[in-house]
Amino acid sequence: MQARLRTHLQKSVVKLATSVPNHQLESVPRRYIASGLVLHDKLAPKPVPKHDWNRAVSEAEKIVGYPTSFLSLRWLLSDEIANVALHLRKLVGSNHPLLRTAKILIYNGKNNMQAWGLIVLLISKAVGHAPTVPDLEQDKSAGVLQSQRGLAEITEMIRTAHLVHQGLVNLQPLDGAGNELGNDSDTIFGNKIALLSGDYLLGNACLQLAGLRNQPLIELISSAVRDLAESNFFGARDQQNNPLPSRPLESPVVADNSASNGSNVDLSFGDMIDNTQPLSLAGVMGNPEKEWALRHILGAGSLLGKSCQGAMMLAGQSEALQRRGYMFGKHLSLAWQACIDLEPFNSNQLPPGGRFSLVSAPVLFHLDHDPSLYSEIEKGLVSVDNIDFAKVHAEVSSGPGPERTRTLQKKHSLAAMEVLNELPSSDARTALQNIILAMQDI
């Protein structure tokens, strides 16, 4: 059953990549996920030559017992998941965004989001648990608790459900709502599968979370789900809900080189006091680093940070250590996102038809440096397809945006490393350090 399901999914994705002519791709509404899909393969307990990402993740998986993805035998043998895989085959040739998400889930690679559960398990093992935890709750071979492994799966399910839901295509502009949809049967079907598949994963995540019978943890993870939902309504958007940057402030945020590293920028947003409450938006829009950070904390960092915090909660650790766990996950997620944002700007020329996130850190930093570029961004208020991405890429590549993003990445990497350095030396801590070092090659 497992082999048949994986074969169905892989055939669907391969056919999508090989059978759809380029001219057909332009006729389908596009969706670009802002909070980058970070892929991975594996991690390490010893120094990794050249900070190789795949080797780092594979070595780390050995530390916690087995691959952490919820796409395990238990899930692959599920009748519901098998039915989704069969329905996906009907979308081949339609270029529906759901197929792109399926490709990311099936094929391992350096941008795969399945490393999230692995990070939760590694921080769980690195911190350890209180001596009062019953022996039956412990997975002594892996050094983590059974409830922590369950939380890692819950984290991946929620993250994947969010990404699947982002694959929904808006079939009509607002002024045409309620009219007949015409011959969009493939896209309508794809939307139904994306909606129901995401709901299925989210529903199972909630069921498994309730099964842990820990009210404070349920409240914590529920607030992360709220943040994910809020991220879809943050800032300006086109008619396909693709995110757009806000208008830059009249005077640049960075006025001199001493402040260019952003070290004095407050990125707490109120979560240092009570991170179960909604994050504050005060003074965010138009400030490049604050806007970028809040957007990606809502869309990713909140879930990873609160999952790390929740893992320590399950282990009976102090509230102070739980809060450090939240900060670790939050900063690690932001460092990860900064690396993803830099990818399109590692080359001076954008490939024909290439796209990148318009709310990535290099773009926001360049708008702060040269607000005149915003006139090009404004063309995308109806659809981002109206924007000349090659022009934006050329201007951003030649400006200070990429370098300031590298500085931003180092800032959050060091903040995550600072938390790890407070923990006792262990193979799990070393594996997490290797993951952070390997990010420079993402």
* Residue 33 exposure: Cα atoms within 13 Å on the Cβ side: 25
Residue with tokens 């490939």, as numbered in its chain: 351
Query: Any idea where the domains of the chain sit in the sequence?
Result: 52-172+184-249+269-440
Q: Are 198 and 98 in contact (CB under 8 A)?
A: no
pLDDT for 59: 77
pLDDT of 341 strictly over 80: yes
pLDDT for 169: 80
Q: Are 363 and 396 in contact (CB under 8 A)?
A: yes
pLDDT for 138: 79
pLDDT of 112 strictly over 90: no
Using CB atoms within 10 Å of the CB of residue 133, give its burial: 0 to 12 exposed, 13 to 18 middle, 19+ buried.
middle
Please, which pLDDT band fits residue 288 given cuts at 50, 70 and 90?
very high
How far from chain centre, in Å, is Cα 193? 21
Higher pLDDT, 266 or 280: 280
pLDDT tens digits, one per residue of 163-202:
888 888 877 665 555 555 556 677 787 788 788 888 988 9
pLDDT tens digits, one per residue of 357-387:
999 999 999 999 999 999 999 999 988 999 9
pLDDT of 7 strictly over 70: no
pLDDT for 250: 74
Q: Are 321 and 276 in contact (CB under 8 A)?
A: no
Rounded mean pLDDT of 217-242?
93
pLDDT of 55 strictly over 50: yes
Please, which pLDDT band fits residue 282 given cuts at 50, 70 and 90?
confident
% residues pLDDT > 90 (the chain): 44
pLDDT for 183: 61
State the Cα torsion 121-123-126-128 to the nearest 10°. Answer: -70
pLDDT of 90 strictly over 70: no
pLDDT for 323: 95
Residue 237 β-bridge partners = 243
Task: Classify 343 as helix, strand or coil.
Answer: helix
pLDDT of 157 strictly over 50: yes
**Distance, CA of 299 to CA of 33 (rounded, Å):** 10
Higher pLDDT, 56 or 11: 56
Burial 211-228 (b: 16+ CB within 10 A, else e): ebebeebeebbebbbbbb
CATH of 52-172+184-249+269-440, one of 1.10.600.10, 3.40.640.10, 1.10.357.10, 1.10.10.10: 1.10.600.10
The pairing of strands 138-139 and 144-145 is antiparallel
pLDDT of 21 strictly over 90: no
pLDDT tens digits, one per residue of 381-434:
988 999 999 999 999 999 999 999 999 999 999 999 999 999 999 999 999 999
Please, which pLDDT band fits residue 100 given cuts at 50, 70 and 90?
low
pLDDT of 6 strictly over 60: no
CB contact set of 226 (below 8 Å; sequence gap of 6+): 278
pLDDT for 131: 84
pLDDT for 23: 42
Higher pLDDT, 182 or 41: 182
Rounded mean pLDDT of 137-147?
82
Higher pLDDT, 60 or 121: 121
- What integer best gives the mean pLDDT of the chain? 78
